[in-house]
Structure 1
Amino acid sequence: MGPEVDVSLEQDNRWKRSSTDTTQSLPWELLHLIFQYAVAPSFLMIPDRCRHSAWSLNISTLRRLIIVCHDWYEAGIELLYVDVAVYWIEQLSSLLWTLQNRPDLAFKLLSIHIVCHVPPDHVEAFDLALKSFASICPNLTQLSAQFVHVHPSRYSRILPAFSGIPLTHLAIHSDDARSSTDLVYLFSESLILLALYARDALPTSSWTTRVENSAGQSGQLRFPRLQYFQHDLEGYQLQFICVNWEFPALAYLTCLKRRWNHSYLALADNLEFIRTHGRKISTLFLGYSIKDAHEYRVVEMIETLSGMTQLRHLIMPSFDDLSIPQIQCLDLFSSDNILPPISDLDSRFPNLKSYRLLDSSLFSLPWIYTMFPPTGQRYEFRYPGISIRADECSLRGTSSSERSLVRGEDLLFTSDSDSESDWVPSSDDDTGPDDDTHSSEHDTSGSDSEIDCEISEDEFDEYEFTSSIPPYL
């Protein structure tokens, strides 16, 4: 190879290193893969509205990537629309405009999270918007509903809109038994995953009456496909479900503890539920400490768990006297995050294959123990707001996600926006209303415009995001 060719190649390589066109013109498939690796999968995030949550941080990262150029925008924009979160009702019009004018994005939408306040004068618009979602998003199968500072009867607005959709995943945060159970009855035949959070509601004896009224003459209900059930219910709520609902395919059960409840009473309710519906349960998360429980309650728990013939994976607080022979994977968590030693481990758990400590700070993430099952391997994942590390005997990490909003919390968001139009990398497409929820478009109408997508605290209410991969299983 002659010197002239060497000089030519050197000049060509120097130009390629200094040119931005090389990276911007990557194949679509490669760009799409890079974007997926750059942000956390959404099963590691909760679609909360906190400014520094993992959800917001990761979507902000994705937005920064896709505004680099038009090619990157087209390769990554659909990732923002797979999992949609609605935080205030003003978002709905711009979101619907985008989905109606981009059927490809509507086709990608799998999950919607409603976490918003619906004022009385916006009820009709809310109804129409939900009906539109149901009609233009053919693959929508996952719904999470949590209304903030509003009468819980707003749940009834979802019923006619989603009645024709075979939902497979449903999560409800509600203080109202009637409205939440209406949703459950509507989708019981198709549900694979159900999560019920009672939020601030204390269990009352009127709960069963209201549920029976919502179901007609009887509260009997069957979930033929349901495999995952997660709840923080207790008392009359859980007792009624235990007696009147059937879960023939239930394999994964998570029993969460509310902050104010009495562990030993809630434990008794959950043990009764397990005895009734635990025949096929293989993985159990029991979030109740029984250190202060009476001795007979401890014996009852051990007998109940030992009778679960299909149980292989148990997650619960550390407990010295635990002995369940069929367990193969045991995950314990403690307040000091130190793996407690268990004397006579081999005799208490003769079939044990894995024994590890779970970091309690990860429990805000639903189903974290199924997403990262014990394998004995070392690995580490780092994303904005999320850090997860695993080794032979522990699963540790941190997450800035929250399971649900607390009543009275300052949400740090408003529906005001000074933006008249958003910036999109150059293309021939028509533009429409601002889509503060999902698009990667960026405001340039005022002096606060930031093309690099850095978001100030004063502007943050204009940037509500979605995630890339459905947040469930």
Structure 2
Amino acid sequence: MASDKPSQEDRNGTEEQKRSKLAKEDVKIDCTIQRAMHLPHLPWEILHLIFLRTVAPGWLIMPDRRYLSAWNVNTRAKLHLINVCRDWYEAGIELLYEEIAINSIGQLCALASTLRTHSSLADKVASLHLSFYIHDTTVYRRIYDSLPSLCPNLVKLGFSEFFSCPGMPPYLPSLHSLTHLELHSCSFVLFAGSIDIVAANLVSLSVYGHNSDTNDREDETTVEVQFPRLQVLRCRLDTDGLTFITERCKFPALKTFLGEPPSIFDMYNYTGNIFRHILIFIQHHGQRLTTLFLYYFAYDVKLQENAPFMAKVLAELVHLRHLIIPPFFDILVPQVLWLDCYFVWQQTRHAQILPLLSADERKNLFPNLQRFRCIDPGPLELPLIYVLLPPTLEDECHFSFPGIDIKCDARSMTGMSTAIREVKDDEEDLDFSSGSASECESYEPPPDSEESDWSDESEWASASFENSAQEAEVSNDSKRETESFEGSKPRETESSNDTKRETESLEGSKPRETESSEELEWKADEEQCLKLWRKARFAS
């Protein structure tokens, strides 16, 4: 009978194979360690250039508080870079603090505390975007008044549609470095008295406002504002706001104008012929316009009536070279060299009446036309399409970042956020990043001393801005983060998840820890804050 026990030669061969396998693995590990050891010792300038091409630029995407939004995916990519080692931190920390989006009063407190402690980080802040409601303006103003000294190099300041503006902050006179200003859902008419202080240095202005309520502030409507250096104006205003900027504002250097009618969600807040007011503004301030971006308001029933007036206004723009309009406009503009047709909705691509898609029709309407393109930005919101896709583009461009994929050539452009498609309905609202937010919201500063606002670090109960405002998002769910960070990989099926869980249990993986009482309390506070936010949102 043959013995079932392995022979001595078999045992020796098996052991030799094991040693050989372990030796190969050790070699692989050593190579990996050597590569990892060499990477951090690259010169700072080279590392910084690599990081610049790894993360998407801030002007390409809009701040979005959703966890899987392109903005948050891009922020987490920056965090992954700076957490590798000290050298990578020094090379990439500027990318993290260069553009900051604040979604709660707690994050604002944490940011102020961090910048006050680390002056080197304060010099790196160039863009600040605020998006949250203010119920008690006392704490807000005390922090807000200190931001000029904390952000001496601030270039861009933005107020989102969620921001409750009690009035233009009093510190604006000291922001001499401010060149870009964005006002969302704020009355530009009411801001005119304060914006005059920074208007002299503004190069770009974006205004998205609701009804101006000029009856409550009639004194502000008489203010005249001069914008001597403004070159780019993007606005979405009602008839009162358009009338104000037409009659009370001066734009002698304006070269690019983006006139956006209200969306379907704001149509009930607007009355009158919006498109005609936009054309009147262009007629008054468009003498130097070289780029014009006209959006079509689908609910403007008087669009056909405005066609002759639009042709007259565009004919007077002698310097106009780049025109961006929907494909169903039928106008004669001989001075235009570059024409881009912007598809308002996907169905227009298959519509029957699209005169500008015909080569013969374009030749008749634009006899000097050098290039024509169809622009379809896709789900990725591009604030300034003409910057990403200039009219002189010759070759194909491909922008690929974690969670973002953009391709464009001389004929078309498509933008895709690979993370936004995974957003669930229950994740589209506010993202309160840490428990310190509730502490800062409930904090009442001492009434006596103004200097004491920043004297006691413990009263603000906030760690660094990285931990409370951004890094906390990374620790929410590592598995979901990995899926959103890789972007292009599809979500795993339930069967594969079950298989992974079984494998982990067989390998002796640790069981998932139960949620602590602090986490449960934080979730309850978040749900309560969401309810209050939705109630205030619909009430407004």
- Quick check: TM above 0.5? yes
Q: Report 1:165-176 matches (<5 A).
A: 165-166=175-176, 167-176=178-187
Q: CA deviation at 1:163?
A: 2.1
Counterparts in 2 of 1:158-169, with a 5 A limit? 158=169, 160-166=170-176, 167-169=178-180
The verdict on how the C-alpha distance between 1:263 and 1:381 changes in structure 2, with shifts beyond 3 A counting, is: farther
Is contact 1:274-1:304 (8 Å) kept? Answer: yes
User: Please, which runs of 5 or more residues in structure 2 have no aligned partner?
Assistant: 1-25, 350-355, 421-426, 438-457, 485-514, 524-540
Deviation at 1:228, TM superposition (A): 0.7
Give 2:57's aligned amino acid: P
1:359 is aligned to 376
Matched, 1:254 2:278: no
1:401 & 1:370 partners in 2: Cα distance?
A: 23
2 CA distance for matches of 1:363 and 1:66? Answer: 26
1:450 deviation in Å?
A: 6.3
Matches within 5 A, 1:359-378: 359-361=376-378, 364-374=381-391, 375-378=393-396
Deviation digits for residues 317-343 of structure 1 (CA, Å, limit 9, x no counterpart): 112523210001100022337482242
Taking the aligned partners of 1:395 and 1:143, their CA distance within structure 2 comes to 29
Q: What do the CA deviations read for 1:395-414 (whole angstroms, capped 9, x no partner)?
A: 22234899xxxxxx962322
State the match for 1:7 in structure 2: none
Residue 48 of structure 1 deviates from its aligned partner by: 2.0
Find the counterpart in structure 2 of residue 192 from structure 1.
Answer: 203
Moved more, 108-117 or 369-378: 369-378
| 1:189 match: secondary structure | helix
Q: Cα gap change, 1:441/1:322 in structure 2, threshold over 3 Å: closer, same or farther?
A: closer
| Per-residue deviation, 1:257 | 2.2
In 1, the alpha carbon distance for the partners of 2:279 and 2:471 equals 52
Secondary structure of 1:91's counterpart equals helix
Instruction: Identify the residue that residue 487 of structure 2 maps to in structure 1.
Output: none
Superposition deviation, residue 73 in structure 1: 1.6
2:219 paired residue number: 213
Shift of 1:40: 0.4
Structure 2 residue matching 1:48: 3-state secondary structure: coil
- Counterpart of 1:297 in structure 2 is 306
1:46 matched to 2:62 = yes
Q: Give the CA deviation at 1:38.
A: 0.8
The C-alpha deviation readout for 1:115-141, integer Å capped at 9, x for no partner, is 122221xx2222222222201322112
Aligned to 1:425: none
Deviation of 1:451 after TM superposition, in Å, equals 12
Aligned with residue 26 of structure 1, among 38, 42, 51: 42
Change (3 A) 1:104 1:387: same
Please state if 1:98 is matched with 2:114: yes
Tell me which of 214, 237, 254 is aligned to 2:241.
237
Change (3 A) 1:442 1:114: closer
Q: Tell me, yes or no, if structure 1 residue 76 matches structure 2 residue 85.
A: no
Aligned length: 418
Q: TM-score, normalised by structure 2?
A: 0.69
Q: Verify: 1:412 aligned to 2:430, yes or no.
A: yes
Contact 2:188 2:207 in 1 (8 A): no
Distance 1:253 1:399, change over 3 A: farther
Counterpart amino acid of 2:282? I
Residue 239 of structure 1: SS of its match in structure 2?
helix
Q: Does the CA-based 8 Å contact 1:389-1:397 persist in structure 2?
A: yes
Unaligned runs of 5+ in 1: 1-10, 403-408, 420-430, 462-473
CA distance in 1, matches of 2:58, 2:233: 19
1:143-182 correspondence runs (5 A): 143-146=157-160, 148=162, 150=164, 152-153=165-166, 155-156=167-168, 158=169, 160-166=170-176, 167-177=178-188, 179-182=190-193
Q: Which moved more, 1:285-294 or 1:58-67?
A: 285-294
Give yes or no for contact 1:80–1:439 (8 Å, CA) kept in 2: no
Larger Rg: 2
The corresponding residue for 2:146 is 132
Q: 1:440 to 1:124 in 2, by over 3 A?
A: closer
Deviation at 1:21, TM superposition (A): 0.9
The 2-side partners of 1:452 and 1:25 are apart by 32
Tell me the SS of whatever aligns to 1:93: helix
Structure 2 residue identity aligned to 1:329: W
> What letter matches 1:164 in structure 2?
S
Question: Does the CA-based 8 Å contact 1:253-1:283 persist in structure 2?
Answer: yes
User: 1:221: Cα distance to partner?
Assistant: 1.8
Whether the 8 Å CA contact 1:253–1:284 is kept in 2: the answer is yes
What TM-score do you get using the length of structure 1 for normalisation?
0.78
Of 317, 333, 336, the match for 1:324: 333
Rounded to whole Å, the distance in 1 between the matches of 2:342 and 2:383 is: 16
Query: Partners in 2 of 1:61 and 1:352 — Cα distance?
Result: 42
Counterparts in 2 of 1:410 and 1:56: CA distance versus 1, 3 Å: closer
C-alpha root-mean-square deviation of aligned residues, in Å? 3.6
Q: Which amino acid aligns with 2:402?
A: P
Distance 2:93 2:478 in 1: 19
2:227 to 220, 223, 230: 223
Call closer, same or farther: CA 1:149–1:83 in 2, change over 3 Å. Answer: closer
Is the contact made by 1:376 and 1:393 (CA closer than 8 Å) also made in structure 2?
no
Return closer, same or farther for 1:130/1:437 CA change in 2, 3 Å cut-off.
farther
Contact 1:346-1:352 at 8 Å conserved across structures? yes
- Bigger mean CA deviation after superposition, 344-353 or 218-227: 344-353
Which amino acid counterpart does residue 165 of structure 1 have in structure 2?
L
Give, in angstroms, the shift of residue 288 of structure 1. 1.4
Match in the other structure for 1:341: 358
The answer for the alignment partner of 1:388 in structure 2 is 406
* Alignment correspondent of 1:434: 463
Q: Aligned in 2, Cα 1:330/1:147: closer, same or farther, shift over 3 Å?
A: closer
> Which shows bigger deviation, 108-117 or 274-283?
108-117
**Paired residues for 1:55-66 under 5 Å:** 55-66=71-82
**Is contact 1:381–1:389 with CA below 8 Å preserved after alignment?**
yes
Are the counterparts in 1 of residues 131 and 163 from structure 2 also a CA contact under 8 Å? no
* CA spacing shift, 1:449–1:387, aligned 2, 3 Å: closer
Q: Secondary structure at the match of 1:38?
A: coil
- CA drift of 1:148 comes to 2.7
Structure 2: distance between partners of 1:366 and 1:441: 23
The verdict on how the C-alpha distance between 1:110 and 1:50 changes in structure 2, with shifts beyond 3 A counting, is same
CA distance in 2, matches of 1:401, 1:194: 29
